[in-house]
Amino acid sequence: MMDYLSSLNKGQKILLGTGSCVVLSVLFTVQLLLQHFSHWKNPKEQKAIVIIVLMAPIYAIVSYVGLVDFMGSATFFTFLESIKECYEALVIAKFLALMYSYLNISISKNIVPDGIKGREIHHSWPMTYFQPHTVRLDHRNLKLLKNWTWQFVIIRPLCSILMISLQLLDLYPTWLSWTFTIVLNTSVSLALYSLVVFYHVFAKELAPHNPLAKFLCIKGVVFFCFWQVSVYSFHFCSNLISDSFLELEVMTS
């Protein structure tokens, strides 16, 4: 085994290591899903949990495919990133729906328990430019938080379709790429902000369901992945880093 590992070059070791992580991610996810399916007692809530749980292997597999096909076109990489980011939008929406289910809230049916009406919502900067610092919880404000989350669910796929189409038409200059980055950054930040506010307001009621770990995982993965791509794109466009895939020498001579 050690002889085999020592015979690999740097790029092949990276592919082997990342491939092992992908396999572990899939195995752990399958194990967790089997536990849910064998105790399928709350379909509405568990469907949302299943979608959230699938985020890890989908991210892992898509990232690994992009790493293996390092000679692929820019359009192909954009397509791979779009798969991850569109699924990320779905996960954010499902997590909000899961918390609504825990709290027995239905915006469409105008169902808001009397026990949670009138609570104070404290907005932080820069949202205080658009909203009062303190507002009372009611149906309107709950709907506003939902809309702040769902705007990303709509904007993310639309931007992905536009980005891929423009690249295929060879109409994708650098300034347009950064325009999409700014729009998506604003959109995902607003969606995550609404989740933070929602969780903060209902932390006491949500505590028995232990959603904090899911919330931190979603927030960390979504926000970190988005900024990771943005930072790498900035450094690459600024010629501060070179094409790392070529330096890895994954292909053997």
The pLDDT value given to residue 4: 63
Whether 253 is in a domain gets the answer no
pLDDT category at 31 given cuts 50, 70, 90 is very high
What pLDDT is stored for residue 247 in this prediction? 45
Q: How far apart are CA 54 and CA 95, in angstroms?
A: 13
Indicate the number of domains in the chain.
1
Cis check: omega of the bond before 57, within 30 degrees of 0: no
Report the percent of the chain where pLDDT is more than 70: 72
**Domain annotation covers residue 47:** yes
In terms of pLDDT, which residue wins out, 31 or 117? Answer: 31
pLDDT at 75: 65
Average pLDDT on 78-100 reads 80
Question: Mean of the pLDDT values across residues 200-216?
Answer: 74
Q: Which domain holds residue 53?
A: 2-248
